[in-house]
Amino acid sequence: MTTIEDRLRAATRAAADTVVPGSAPPLRLPGTEPRRGRVRRSGAGRRWADWAAPLAAAAAVTAVIAGVLMVTRLADLPQSRPGPPAPGTVHLRRAPSTANEAIPSYVVGLAPGPLLAAQSNRAVVRATASGAVLATLSPPRGYGSFAWVTAAADDRTFVLAAYGRGPATGSARARPAGNTTGFFLLRLDPVVGTARLTPLSVPPQPDLPGMGTAISGIALSPDGGQLAVAFGNAPGGRSELKLFDLRSGSVRVWRGAPSGGELAADELGANPMSWTADGRTLAVDQWVGLTINVHLLDTEAAGGDLWSGRRAVTFAHWPSGSVAGSAIITSDGTKIIAMAVTRHATQIQVNEFSASTGQALGTVVHLRYRRGAITSWPSVLWSDSSGSTLIVKTTRPGTKPIKNADAIPGAFGVITNGHFTLLPGIPAGEMMAW
Amino acid sequence: MLDWRADAGPLVTALYQAHGVGLIRLAVVMLGDRPAAEDVVQEAFCGLYRRWDHLADTGNALGYVRSSVLNGCRSVLRNRSRLHTGPGPEPGGPDSVESAESAALAGEEHRAVLAALRRLPARQREALVLRYYLDLPEAEIAESMGISPGTVKSTVSRALAALGRLLGENR
């Protein structure tokens, strides 16, 4: 039987074989000949030609910027465009009055990086209701990008993970040998009108040798006192969770068995962890093949086996279940809420489960789509105490089926009383934290 | 004093001669469009040339330019997606270049798989192409995409499931 992997290999190679050896056009390096604009090529339809130029121009600009960042990333060079020194303070504009007091006023987003989506070169503070940009922050000195963002429950406190070599330290101004992920507290003070980024006492987490970062998510506790850092593939091939006490600086570690699955969200960039309001329980997603288990971790324990916590809910993928997005525990600790794409991909559902028994409590929202319209994976990103108001990322209802085009990033919206309302100014495709 | 541009030109050109076709092929798989693929590869090599003097490890130049090609493809796809949501030509429309490429392919089977592949989110598509077209190991895919090897694994797994769903297979 031909597997889908075989079909994929055959199809991609057939597409690649349309480019025959020796058919590459001559390379035109800048400054080596007069540049007269883009080379016209045969075979392109007029419609393509009409919009190819601006696209290619955009790609060109992106590639140049990307080059700068990629050299930094791969070749471990000092930062060519250092951001403001940490601690850094920028002006925070006043947020327009929100129309929905049931949701947080502020959101911090990381725009996809010019080279790698997971490496953002700016963090943007926005008003949730309008999307108005209130402040923009660059990565701290020594770091080339932001990689993760997470929020406390007070609507003012966030933690940003920055990625890069880190700052020079010591009299010899020695730099770390490789890239690391450093952690920074972002504090919004709307009264004074400042957004201030300061380094946390959490030690920077180094890359795996030759393999990049192993971090698969971060989650700040509701009171802002603890930071959970998930490592999807720590040394030894095992998942790991580190829980840093931001007041004392102590750390506790939970480790999974090497074959125990991966601590990661169902979707790239989504958060595999969520807290209850009392800070005593952390819900963590365990990936095992095409199954996701949500475990409830006792955060007052000394550490230990990552997967020994009670398994609250299991989500199975096709064919026995739905394709599920990442799950979240409500802050009162009673429910686990997850979004799912149904079998024929014509509905996205928001489903509730009992956190104590795992029993399905029901589907609170059905978003309906024409077949072929759902191309981004839904996730619950924020919940109020009981789960009656949610902020989600999902394919925008009313999206038309698309053919042979890139997937449209999920849009952000609020679900309350069974209805989805788009958050108009929050850009799709960014990593967001409320 | 060493003129790095004089030094870099022949090296970058040699790299292009050795790997240009392979990278255009990679971009064609990603984009389904030869002219756009050539543009992306051209710009990636120009970026390499401009930054040559900053490369600490020129031995990894191929890895650098491959990542630049992936990024360029992502940029084209992002813009194509934006165009698709508004008025104007649909990238997959009947008189688009997709048809020209499709005509050159072996048949309906390949077209169906490629059409499904191109409906995946860009990063899932990248992971599948790097894994099953280039046969890269997880560590190299992770390096190219800037994610952890574990995330590569879950992304590939998830992308295969999504591809199966789009192709009507139960996985």
CB within 8 Å of chain A, chain B residues 48-87: 48-51, 54-57, 60, 63-64, 67-68, 71-72, 74-81, 83-85
Q: Which of A32-36, A140-144, A331-335, B8-12 has the least mean pLDDT? A: A32-36
Q: Which of A285-294, A368-377, B37-46 has the least mean pLDDT? A: A368-377
Compare all CA atoms of chain B with the CA of A316 and give the residue at the minimum distance.
Answer: B171
3-state secondary structure A87-117: CEEEECCCCCCCCCCCCCCEEEEECCCCCCC
- B47 in reach of chain A (CB within 8 A): yes
Provide the pLDDT for residue A44: 26
Confidence of residue B56 (pLDDT cuts 50, 70, 90): low
Q: Which of A313-327, A347-361, A365-379 has the least mean pLDDT? A: A313-327
Cross-chain CB nearest to B29 (options A16, A24, A30)? A16
| Every domain range in chain B assigned CATH 1.10.10.10 | 108-171
Confidence of residue A357 (pLDDT cuts 50, 70, 90): very high
Provide the pLDDT for residue A383: 93
Chain B residues whose beta carbon lies within 8 Å of the beta carbon of residue A28: 42, 46
Could you tell me what percent of chain A has a pLDDT over 70?
73
Nearest Cα neighbor of A195 from A127, A137, A126, A129 is A137
Provide the pLDDT for residue A175: 61
Residue A370 has pLDDT above 60, yes or no: yes
| Every domain range in chain B assigned CATH 1.10.1740 | 1-104
Residue A416 has pLDDT above 80, yes or no: yes
Is residue A11 within 8 A of residue B113, CB to CB? The reply is: yes
What are the extents of the domains in chain A?
66-95+105-213, 263-434
List, in order, residues 6 or more apart from A16 with CB less than 8 Å away: B25, B26, B28, B29, B133
Angle between helices B149-166 and B138-145 (to 10 degrees): 90
**Between A218 and B60, whose confidence is greater?**
A218
Residue A350 has pLDDT above 80, yes or no: yes
Q: What is the ipTM of this complex?
A: 0.80
Mean pLDDT of A394-418: 76
Query: DSSP strand E in A9-48: where?
Result: none
Provide the pLDDT for residue A32: 53
CB within 8 Å of chain A, chain B residues 110-129: 110-111, 113-115, 117-124, 128-129
Nearest Cα neighbor of A278 from A149, A187, A153 is A153
Give, in degrees to the nearest 5, the angle at Cα A193 between A188 and A198. Answer: 40
Confidence of residue B76 (pLDDT cuts 50, 70, 90): confident
Confidence of residue A245 (pLDDT cuts 50, 70, 90): very high
Compare all CA atoms of chain A with the CA of B114 and give the residue at the minimum distance.
Answer: A11
Task: Reduce the DSSP state of residue A166 to 3 states and report it.
Answer: coil
Nearest Cα neighbor of A261 from A241, A280, A244, A242 is A241
Provide the pLDDT for residue B7: 65
Question: Could you read off the pLDDT of B131-143 as tens digits, one per residue?
Answer: 888 888 888 888 7
- A209 in reach of chain B (CB within 8 A): no
Compare all CA atoms of chain B with the CA of A119 and give the residue at the minimum distance.
Answer: B146
Fold of B108-171: Arc Repressor Mutant, subunit A (1.10.10)
Fold of A263-434: Neuraminidase (2.120.10)
pTM tops 0.90: no
Confidence of residue A152 (pLDDT cuts 50, 70, 90): very high
Highest mean predicted confidence (pLDDT) among A38-47, A179-188, A209-218, B116-125: A179-188
Highest mean predicted confidence (pLDDT) among A45-49, A109-113, B99-103, B126-130: B126-130
Mean pLDDT of A111-133: 81
Provide the pLDDT for residue A318: 58
Mean per-residue pLDDT over chain A, rounded: 78
Residue B37 has pLDDT above 80, yes or no: yes
Fold of B1-104: Rna Polymerase Sigma Factor; Chain: A (1.10.1740)
Give the pair of three-digit tokens for residue B104: 């050159």
CB within 8 Å of chain B, chain A residues 38-67: 38, 41, 43-45, 47-48, 50-52, 54-56, 58-60, 62-64, 66-67
Confidence of residue A67 (pLDDT cuts 50, 70, 90): very low
Cβ A9–B132 below 8 Å, yes or no?
A: yes
Q: Which of A169-178, A217-226, A417-426, B57-66 has the least mean pLDDT? A: A169-178
Mean pLDDT of A30-38: 45
- B102 in reach of chain A (CB within 8 A): no
Angle between helices B61-85 and B4-31 (to 10 degrees): 50
Compare all CA atoms of chain B with the CA of A209 and give the residue at the minimum distance.
Answer: B139
Could you tell me what percent of chain A has a pLDDT over 90?
39
HSE-CB for A411 with a 13 A CA cutoff: 17
Mean pLDDT of B67-80: 78
Q: How far is residue A20 from each of residues A10, A16, A204, B18, B41, measured CA to CA in Å?
A: 16, 8, 47, 14, 15
Residue B35 has pLDDT above 70, yes or no: yes
